[in-house]
Amino acid sequence: MALGFGPTRGACDTAARGGQARRFAAQRSVARRFVARRSVARGFSPARNGNSVCIVAGMRPRRPHRLCGLPYTGYQRYSLTLCVDGRQRVFIERHVAERAVLQLRQSAAKHAFAIAAYCFMPDHVHLLVYGTSPDASLTAFVAHFKQMTGFAYRQATGQLLWQEGYHDRVLRNEEQTETIVRYILGNPVRAGLTREWGEYEYAGSDLFDYRRA
């Protein structure tokens, strides 16, 4: 069933969380162990509660190419940037941003990913995600998220939501998680959208208590 972009309803959020709570908790536990093995994030502690490159407006981008021979599956860390079609500032609308965050968590749970950091800027999205099973597929996860949000947005507005493709980077072992998380969560401050960390409604982490950093 397509995710709607109407006013937020508590029943919808409760049902989505309740139906996936056990699976998400297990995936988050796996991701935390993976983080501990790959990179100790100083200044961050595991969360206690729950759960940039864009094309100039008017230009039609080419689809970013995936790296040949690289398996986008398994216990990998990925830094991603997804851009809104035509650089439209769609995520300044509360109901659009809130529903997109909800769908992000649903798609991550469905495809065995944990969300280390996310930030929905007005016209693009930054993500740091972890595969939590040997079969976790980045391409399937992102395709599902974009398809569900894009379909619902087009049904509501008649417009495209996303630019074709997305930009990804597989993190190397020596790259610290903390550095990427800080960059992603610091975007709203650098852009002048908020003055302090933790104030921006559409940025956060499902693995770290970033407010203690």
Q: What is the pLDDT of residue 11?
A: 39
Q: Is residue 69 part of a domain?
A: yes
Q: What is the pLDDT of residue 141?
A: 98
CA–CA distance, 80 with 120 (Å, rounded to integer)? 12
The residue among 38 and 170 whose pLDDT is bigger is 170
Residue 165: give its domain's CATH number: 3.30.70.1290
CA–CA distance, 160 with 56 (Å, rounded to integer)? 16
Could you read off the pLDDT of 32-79 as tens digits, one per residue? 554 544 443 333 344 433 334 454 444 444 444 455 556 799 999 999
Q: What is the pLDDT of residue 157?
A: 96
Could you read off the pLDDT of 86-138 as tens digits, one per residue? 999 999 999 999 999 999 999 999 999 999 999 999 999 999 999 999 999 99
Three-state secondary structure call for residue 169: strand
Q: What is the pLDDT of residue 2?
A: 41
pLDDT at 3 over 60: no
Domain of residue 178 covers 10-212
Q: Is residue 2 part of a domain?
A: no
Q: Is residue 30 part of a domain?
A: yes
Q: Is residue 127 part of a domain?
A: yes
180 and 117 Cβ atoms separated by less than 8 Å: yes
pLDDT at 181 over 50: yes
Cβ contacts of 94 within 8 Å, gap of 6 or more:
8, 201
Q: Is residue 5 part of a domain?
A: no
The residue among 99 and 5 whose pLDDT is bigger is 99
What is the share, in percent, of the chain residues with pLDDT greater than 70?
65
CA-CA-CA-CA dihedral for 141, 176, 117, 155, to nearest 10: -40
CA–CA distance, 33 with 39 (Å, rounded to integer)? 10
pLDDT band at 172 (very low <50, low <70, confident <90, very high): confident
Burial of 203 (C-beta count, 10 Å sphere; 0-12/13-18/19+): buried
Q: Is residue 21 part of a domain?
A: yes
Q: What is the pLDDT of residue 178?
A: 86
pLDDT band at 175 (very low <50, low <70, confident <90, very high): confident
Q: What is the pLDDT of residue 70?
A: 67
Q: Confirm whether pTM is higher than 0.75.
A: no
Strand 167-170 and strand 124-131: the pairing is unpaired
Q: Is residue 3 part of a domain?
A: no
Q: What is the pLDDT of residue 13?
A: 43
CA–CA distance, 119 with 200 (Å, rounded to integer)? 9
Q: Is residue 206 part of a domain?
A: yes
Question: What is the count of structural domains for the chain?
Answer: 1
